[in-house]
Amino acid sequence: MTEAAAYSVHDGIAVVTMNNPPVNGLGSVLRPGILAGIQRAEADPTVKALVLIGSPKAFSGGADIREFNTPKASQPPTLQDINRAQDAFPKPMIAAIGGFALGGGLELALACHYRVALPGAQLGLPEVKLGILPGAGGTQRLPRLLGAAKAIEMMTTGNPIRAEEARALGLVDEIVEGDLLEGAIAFAKRLLAEGKGPRRIRDMTVRVEGDPKQFFERARAEVAKRSRGYPAPLEIVGCVEAAASRPFDEGLAYERERFQYLVETVESKALRHMFFAERQTTKIPDVPEDTPTREIRTAAVVGAGTMGGGIAMCFANAGIPVTVVEANEAALERGMATIRANYAATVAKGRLAQEEMDRRMALIRPTLALADVAQADIVIEAVFERMDVKQDLFRRLDAIAKPGAILATNTSTLDVNAIAQATRRPEDVLGTHFFSPANVMRLLEVVRGARTAKDVLATTMKLAKRLGKVPVVSGVCDGFIGNRMLEKYVQQSLFLLEEGATPQQIDRALEGWGMAMGPFRMYDMAGNDIGWEIRKRRAKERPEMVYSKVADRICERGWFGQKAGRGWYRYEPGSRTPIPDPEVEALIAEHRREIGVAPRAIADEEIVERCIYALVNEGARILEEGIALRASDIDIVYLTGYGFPPYRGGPMFYADTVGLAKVLAAIERFRNGYQGGQWQVAPLLARLAAEGKRFNG
Ligand code: NAD
């Protein structure tokens, strides 16, 4: 027996205690111990029942992610081997669930004969979130206990349920108040006193509402609607149908086959890539994990506009007191009113308690005096996007902020190093580029300046996690990772208009491919004036820049998007539904005449390739220049900040799946097309394609 699973006997009840921190992952160190415990209890005639237990905080989180994609994951005994021993166990076997039983952890509990749980424990089969299905009998056992409908819901959403609900559904037999082990042993003794023996889920039948054929047809249709682009949910329905219509062992074999199929799909590989990529972003090669960090107890935000207000909410949501500074009374009142209205809307939707809103509002302290930031451990600047304004502010912050305070800028386009130079402490300065709405979007680009101290970077990455963000390190450049790539995507989207496409065709093509929102709907939502301002400035800074003037024509008419009631589309008052606008099409046609372009029909495939490969090519440059630490960081930026479809794994992962030689060949083709001079192949892309390699290792 290994140390990871302890065996003891209490008054005739064997107890197998899993002890593989932090989550009792069912790795190669734990599985043999569980099996040995079951065998020992079976062989001992004085043992009358068995309790399988983890810690009060974790029954088991399922597969050990540290062994993912390693031979250890399938080293015998497998979870299926354990399940067979559980089914064959001749005495009652009880799972005692504290904390959570997720994935393989719940499958282990399902192969026990009874289940007891602590109040609030979470039970779920989240495999679908990684594009796979529960592969150790979950799809066969769960419906036998809960009925087909509830089992399909749980497994296709992947969302866990609480022990109380599980008790009501029959997934848990008893809620244990007090000590879990004592409660489980008492439960076992009661079973024995009542003469109850093993109760195998495999011997039960699946409850299906109404005619099974109609039920599964309906279930397939509903699930298909919710899971466009993802194969796993439909496969789960198929497995539940097998559970309902075939003998247990056949269903199990079918589940295994579909599991193997899903593991190899691009969609599942993409979702697993995303899962691991998200856990990589905080690893910075020259900033070790044990780098000492600074204490962040209080924060300040300067500027309470669109971004400042949202950033202040992030701190309040995390329980960190935050001072909000504005330039004048009216702006301060407006900013605070917006914050209050945002919280109130969440309260109205029933997603936040009024007391919680009050508690958060109380953490936000509005002021007009910059001197009030003196005690803040971090100050985040979110004022107008102008270098003179920002430098002036940082000069004043330098004089006011306490020594050791982190001074951060939320700039989207300005040189963080030049802002840092306005202070006498550039080592304390870095960029924190939030995405709008800042209190909602998970992405945070953490911009490392040339002189940013390592502990400042480490502290900010840690703080980002506290704020519920996914931090990605970016070097200093115009647009950082996300917006610098986006500029190329925008450029192509506008060239496509000039050549003959309409905004709605381009949006439809990219949304059909999986983007959460097509580019023109996105421009209208963000406000066309924002891009216009940036273009005007860049046109001065980079006179060589080539871009389509068609977007300027829209802005000159004041068609700034949703907020103006019209942009690339028309909007009815109070509605965000884009309505194609013949006047916009006429304006585009006029623009084509002006620049002498005869429109042509453009296939959706070309639209997608040009826009997405524009991201990929610029991503390759960003990687080569060291602006991003790794290809997967770029993928995370697009997955969490730009509505890139998770089942495609991010632009760099997507390019890997297409094959870099193919991506390169397409770009070479585009070089001979419209505005072909704008396509400069990134050297890294050319090199990796020639070597038959990938961006993501
Ligand atoms: P905004 O115009 O909505 O808000 C700026 C606020 O700063 C205004 O309320 C203004 O009164 C205040 N302000 C200006 N100078 C000040 C000073 N010296 N002291 C105190 N307050 C001052 O702008 P925003 O959209 O919130 O953008 C703020 C920053 O965030 C900019 O650098 C912008 O580039 C960046 N950013 C914006 C977005 C976005 O989507 N809006 C996204 C990421 C980053």
> What pLDDT digit, counting tens, does each position of 564-598 carry?
999 999 999 999 999 999 999 999 999 999 999 99
Residues 568 and 524: beta-carbon distance below 8 Å: yes
pTM summary value: 0.93
pLDDT for 605: 98
What CA–CA distance (Å, rounded) separates 354 from 591?
Answer: 53
Q: Quickly state the pLDDT bin for 68 (edges 50, 70, 90).
A: confident
If pLDDT is split at 50, 70 and 90, which confidence band does 122 have? very high
Q: What is the pLDDT of residue 1?
A: 44
With a 6 Å cutoff on the Cβ, whether 640 touches ligand 1 is: no
User: Does residue 617's CB lie within 6 angstroms of at least one atom of ligand 1?
Assistant: no
365 CA from centroid of ligand 1 (Å): 18
Helices assigned H by DSSP within 132-247? 138-146, 148-157, 163-169, 180-193, 212-226, 232-245
Residue of minimum CA distance from atom 1 in ligand 1: 305
Percentage of the residues of the chain whose pLDDT score is greater than 70? 100
Amino acid at 23: V
The DSSP element (H or E) to which 299 belongs, if any, is strand 299-302
Report the b/e string of 152-178 with b at 16+ CB within 10 A. bebbbbbebbbbeebbebebbbbbbee
In order of 150, 222, 231, 241, 254, the CA distances from 217 in angstroms are: 16, 9, 16, 10, 19
Interstrand relation of 569-570 and 579-580 (parallel, antiparallel or unpaired): antiparallel
Single-letter residue type at 258: R
Q: Is the confidence at residue 2, as pLDDT, over 70?
A: no
Q: How many angstroms does the Cα of residue 331 sit away from the middle of ligand 1?
A: 11
Q: What is the pLDDT of residue 530?
A: 87
Pocket of ligand 1 contains residue 436 by CB under 6 Å = yes
pLDDT for the residue 537: 87
Mean of the pLDDT values across residues 362-371?
Answer: 98
The residues, any chain, with a CB within 8 Å of residue 568's CB and separated by 6 or more, are 503, 520, 521, 523, 524, 528, 554, 559, 561, 578, 581, 584
Neighbours of 387 (CB within 10 A): 15
Q: What is the mean pLDDT of residues 314-331?
A: 98
pLDDT in tens, 430-481: 999 999 999 999 999 999 999 999 999 999 999 999 999 999 999 999 999 9
Catalytic residue among 3, 42, 67, 127: 127
Residues 74-110 have pLDDT tens digits of: 899 999 999 999 999 999 999 999 999 999 999 999 9
Is residue 135 lining ligand 1, measured as CB closer than 6 Å? no
The pLDDT of residue 482 is above 80: yes
- The residue nearest atom 28 of ligand 1, judged by CA position, is 382
Q: What 3-state class would DSSP assign to 451? A: coil
Ligand 1 pocket, residue 321 CB under 6 Å:
no
Nearest to 628 by CA among 454, 474, 449, 430: 474
List of residues 6+ apart from 581 with CB closer than 8 A: 566, 568, 569, 570
Is residue 139 a contact partner of residue 240, using CB atoms and an 8 Å limit? yes
Cα–Cα distance for residue pair 486/473, rounded to 1 Å:
17
- Mean pLDDT, all residues of the chain: 97
Structure-token match 């190669």, residue found:
28
Ligand 1 pocket check for 276: Cβ under 6 Å? no
Helix (H) or strand (E) holding 691: helix 683-691
For residue 476, the model assigns a pLDDT of: 98
Which residue has the CA at smallest separation from atom 35 of ligand 1? 411
pLDDT band at 65 (very low <50, low <70, confident <90, very high): confident
In the reported structure, the alpha carbon of residue 66 is separated from the centroid of ligand 1 by a whole-number distance in angstroms of 42
In the reported structure, the alpha carbon of residue 1 is separated from the centroid of ligand 1 by a whole-number distance in angstroms of 61
pLDDT in the model for residue 67: 85
* pLDDT, position 525: 94
Residue 530 CA to ligand 1 centre (angstroms): 12
Omega cis (within 30) before 21? no
Tell me the average pLDDT across 227-231.
92
Q: How far apart are CA 609 and CA 489, in angstroms?
A: 10
CA of 304 to the centre of ligand 1 (A): 7
Q: Which of 3, 42, 67, 107 is catalytic?
A: 107
Residue nearest ligand 1's atom 17 by CA: 327
pLDDT, residue 539, reads 87
Look at phi and psi of residue 624 and say left if phi exceeds 0, alpha if psi is from -120 to 50, else beta: alpha
Q: Which residue, chain included where needed, has tokens 């195998």?
A: 200
Residue 216 Cα to chain centre, angstroms: 30
Cβ proximity of 40 and 52 under 8 Å:
no
pLDDT, position 545: 87
Integer CA distances (angstroms), 585 to 490, 517, 553, 592, in order: 18, 20, 12, 11
Residue 326 falls in the annotated catalytic set: no
Question: Which helix (H) or strand (E) covers residue 534, if one does?
Answer: helix 528-541
- With a 6 Å cutoff on the Cβ, whether 13 touches ligand 1 is no
639-664 pLDDT, tens digit per residue, is 999 999 999 999 999 999 999 999 99
Measured from the CB, is residue 80 less than 6 Å from ligand 1? no
Active-site residue flag, 668: no
Rounded to the nearest whole angstrom, what is the distance from the C-alpha of residue 414 to the centroid of ligand 1? 13
CB of 684 sitting under 6 A from ligand 1: no
> Is the beta carbon of 302 within 6 A of some atom in ligand 1?
yes
Cβ-contact 651, 611 below 8 angstroms = no
